[in-house]
């Protein structure tokens, strides 16, 4: 019996703490912030010291950092966490099949269903408790290993590794 007839089923409901862990895991944007900050410091240091006093320079850098962090989404606001937690608290169900995985959201306000072909996966990271399946550089599905219903995480790992190129699958 193949995966199309007997898919691996994973039910996932996320907590506020799991979303915070994912946000820390997904904090690679910090690199871009540091690069932008270094470029800004180089720009400011090339300016004449008489035209911009030290206090104003640090004030400008602080405002720049706050705006960059807010706009780039490195940190969620409390409202964003509450909205994401409300949306994901009822959970998603995933059906892993031969050529794709189905995503089913049964939340009363956000009911939807879709699928993702394996060739559309951008990257997969596996941690001790989760699989993070990225469909682009920023968006990922959080698959809880504890939510796997009809098999064990090792089988899902084998299937995912067989469906994507080796450089796409990473363990952390």
1 located within any domain? no
Q: Do 105 and 44 fall into the same domain?
A: no
| Per-residue pLDDT, 30 | 60
Look at the chain and report how many structural domains it folds into: 2
21 located within any domain? no
172 located within any domain? no
Where are the extended beta strands (E) located within the chain? 8-12, 92-96, 100-105, 112-117, 123-126, 130-134, 140-144, 169-171
The parent domain of residue 112 ranges over 8-16+79-165
| Per-residue pLDDT, 77 | 58
Q: Do 114 and 89 fall into the same domain?
A: yes
2 located within any domain? no
Q: What is the mean pLDDT of residues 111-117?
A: 89
Q: Do 69 and 83 fall into the same domain?
A: no
Q: Do 12 and 91 fall into the same domain?
A: yes
pLDDT digits (tens, 9 = 90+) for 31-59: 666 666 666 666 666 665 556 566 666 67
């Amino acid at each position: 019996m193949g995966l199309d007839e007997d898919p691996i089923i994973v039910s996932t409901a996320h907590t506020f703490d799991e979303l915070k862990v994912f946000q820390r895991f997904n904090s690679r944007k910090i690199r871009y912030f540091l690069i932008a900050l270094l470029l800004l410091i180089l720009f400011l240091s090339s300016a004449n010291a008489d035209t911009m006093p030290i206090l104003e320079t640090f004030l400008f850098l602080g405002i720049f950092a706050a705006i960059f962090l807010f706009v780039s989404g490195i940190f969620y606001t409390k409202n964003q966490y509450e909205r994401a937690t409300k949306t994901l608290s009822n959970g998603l169900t995933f059906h892993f099949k031969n050529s794709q995985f189905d995503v089913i959201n049964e939340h009363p306000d956000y009911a939807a269903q879709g699928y993702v072909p394996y060739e559309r996966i951008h990257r997969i990271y596996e941690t001790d408790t989760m699989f993070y399946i990225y469909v682009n550089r920023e968006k990922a599905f959080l698959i809880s290993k504890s939510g796997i219903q009809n098999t064990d995480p090792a089988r899902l790992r084998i299937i995912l590794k067989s469906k994507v190129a080796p450089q796409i699958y990473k363990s952390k």
